[in-house]
């Protein structure tokens, strides 16, 4: 499951192998105090939740500054679903040569009910609320990131596909496949989205990104299965694929910012 959580989505793939997990803390939410993680692959697995909180600073070598992920707390919402509060704190100097390189991915990732066929999943209830306060120019997005493949557990072969749902983005970040133009327009979650698609040349993995015609302003809620089924409908993949990775996070490129976020995300079988 840690291996699955390791793959992240990026406009420009990491130039080096993804960092091996390190500084892993395995805890439950009764024992786990708030923690700020600034390591290259520092994370905390919350065993009584479906989540890992991860500071995946895979392009640390290209970063002038720091990128940290904080775990704050877990609570249960009125709808009975658990929610996790976390934050992403970046202080990354603008450097022209790397302004188009994501420095990492800070996220909450699923650890449970993965490697399941899409057709066997009842629903993937989710919500994401966030505020971002940047005190310098900032580039980055707020996104959900899933991976599917014809085989259970595959998130690294070229048969795997990466799927991104960009809720909000700023500073001029563009998806893979932008130059080719949108492949489809999709109605979903009360709005319309453009589908961009392209191969991440560093990994050989096809990335399909949905960008909303009007960005969400700090809050989104929906069933992730509807997004995946919308991609089935336009022929991106079939219903017999496995859902192997799922997470919600933010990809910083540069700037000084604090993202405060709360996420609910789980796979119901
Ligand atoms: C925050 O970032 C955006 C996008 O780069 C920029 O337009 C805005 O001026 C920034 N805010 C501050 C206070 O620097
Ligand atoms: C996994 O799926 C089962 C069956 O729907 C469900 O009871 C359980 O809550 C799910 N686990 C998580 C962490 O969502």
Give per-residue pLDDT as tens, 155-209: 999 999 999 999 999 999 999 999 999 999 999 999 999 999 999 987 899 999 9
Q: Is the minimum distance from the CB of 233 to ligand 2 under 6 angstroms?
A: no
Give per-residue pLDDT as tens, 94-150: 999 999 999 999 999 999 999 999 999 999 999 999 999 999 999 999 999 999 999
pLDDT of 28 reads 86
User: What is the pTM assigned to this prediction?
Assistant: 0.91
Which ligand 1 atom sits nearest the alpha carbon of residue 257? Answer: 1
Q: Is the minimum distance from the CB of 123 to ligand 2 under 6 angstroms?
A: no
Q: Percent of the chain beyond pLDDT 70?
A: 91
Give per-residue pLDDT as tens, 13-35: 333 344 555 567 778 888 899 99
Output the average pLDDT for the chain.
Answer: 91
Q: What average pLDDT score do residues 232-246 get? A: 97
pLDDT at 57 over 80: yes
Distance 101 CA to ligand 1 centre (A): 18
Distance 224 CA to ligand 2 centre (A): 15
Q: Which of 114, 107, 50 is CA-nearest to residue 83?
A: 50
Query: Number of H helices and number of E strands within the chain?
Result: 2, 16
Which ligand 2 atom sits nearest the alpha carbon of residue 266? Answer: 14
Distance 82 CA to ligand 2 centre (A): 12
- The residue ranges of DSSP E strands in the chain, in sequence order, are 24-27, 35-37, 41-46, 51-56, 65-76, 82-92, 105-110, 116-117, 125-134, 139-149, 161-170, 184-188, 191-200, 205-212, 219-223, 242-265
What structural domains and CATH numbers belong to the chain? Answer: 2-265 (2.60.120.180)
pLDDT of 202 reads 78
Determine which residue's CA is closest to atom 14 belonging to ligand 2: 266
Distance 111 CA to ligand 1 centre (A): 34
Determine which residue's CA is closest to atom 6 belonging to ligand 1: 137
């Amino acid at each position: 499951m840690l291996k699955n959580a390791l793959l992240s989505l990026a406009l420009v793939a990491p130039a080096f192998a993804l960092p091996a997990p390190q500084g892993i803390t395995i805890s439950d939410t009764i024992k786990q105090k708030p923690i700020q993680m600034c390591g290259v692959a520092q994370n905390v697995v919350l065993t009584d939740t479906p989540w890992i909180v991860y500071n995946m600073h895979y392009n640390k070598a290209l970063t002038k500054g720091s990128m940290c992920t904080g775990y704050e707390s877990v609570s249960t919402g009125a709808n009975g679903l658990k929610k996790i509060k976390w934050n992403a704190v970046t202080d990354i100097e603008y450097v022209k040569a790397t302004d188009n390189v994501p420095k990492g991915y800070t996220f909450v990732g699923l650890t449970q009910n993965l490697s399941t066929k899409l057709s066997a999943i009842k629903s993937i209830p989710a919500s994401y609320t966030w505020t971002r306060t940047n005190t310098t120019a900032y580039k980055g997005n707020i996104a959900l990131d899933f991976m599917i493949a014809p085989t259970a557990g595959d998130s690294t072969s070229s048969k795997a596909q990466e799927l991104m749902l960009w809720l909000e983005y700023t500073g001029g970040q563009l998806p893979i496949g932008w130059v080719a133009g949108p492949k489809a327009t999709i109605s979903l979650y009360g709005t319309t989205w453009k589908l961009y698609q392209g191969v991440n040349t560093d990994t050989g993995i096809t990335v399909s990104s949905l960008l909303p015609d009007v960005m969400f302003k700090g809050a989104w809620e929906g069933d992730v299965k509807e997004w995946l089924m919308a991609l089935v409908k336009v022929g991106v993949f079939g219903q017999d694929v496995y859902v192997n990775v799922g997470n919600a996070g933010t990809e910083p490129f540069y700037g000084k910012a604090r993202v405060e976020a709360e996420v609910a995300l789980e796979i119901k079988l």
